Amino acid sequence: QSALTQPASVSGSPGQSITISCTGTSSDVGNYNLVSWYQHHPGKAPKLMIYEGTKRPSGVSDRFSGSKSGNTASLTISGLQAEDEADYYCCSYAGSSTYVFGTGTKVTVL
């Protein structure tokens, strides 16, 4: 049950695109198309941004997109806005009805 690896921080200027990686193993990210991404402002409830690797829930901006290659999933935020500044976590199903979260990435809008 080792955490998925994410960069500690990513930053970009307004309007730019950034990508956050989430690296796991063949037992979790690489074995299932069941990666979700969450936006988390401390003190608030995490918000689902992407599910099943690439799908966006209703109401989430199309500036957010997800992808996966091998054991690494990625979240891309296009047209970065000040309101996107938050912590972002990936989460993958890891088999046997367990989940594993990423280490988290702090996104800063310069």
Partner 1 sequence: EVQLLESGGGLVQPGGSLRLSCAASGFTFSYYAMTWVRQAPGRGLEWVSSISGSGGSTYYADSVKGRFTISRDNSKNTLYLQINILRAEDTAVYHCAKDGRYADPTTPPDYWGQGTLVIVSS
**Contacts of partner 1 in 10-39 (CB under 8 A):** 34-36, 38
Residue 43 or 82 with smaller CB distance to partner 1:
43
Is residue 1 at the binding interface for partner 1, with CB under 8 A as the rule?
yes
Please report how close the Cβ of residue 9 comes to partner 1 at its closest, in angstroms. Answer: 13
Three-state DSSP class for 82? helix
Maximum CA extent, the chain = 41
Three-state DSSP class for 64? strand
Rounded Cα distance between 34 and 109, Å, is 28
* Contact region with partner 1 (CB under 8 A), list: 10-18, 61-69, 78-86, 89-97: 89-97
Number of residues that bind partner 1 (CB under 8 A): 29
Q: Which of 3, 14, 79, 81 binds partner 1 (CB under 8 A)?
A: 3
Residues 6+ apart with CB under 8 A from 95: 27, 28, 31, 32
Rounded Cα distance between 23 and 42, Å, is 23
Residues near partner 1 (CB under 8 A): 1, 3, 34-36, 38, 40, 43-48, 51-52, 57, 89, 91-93, 96-104
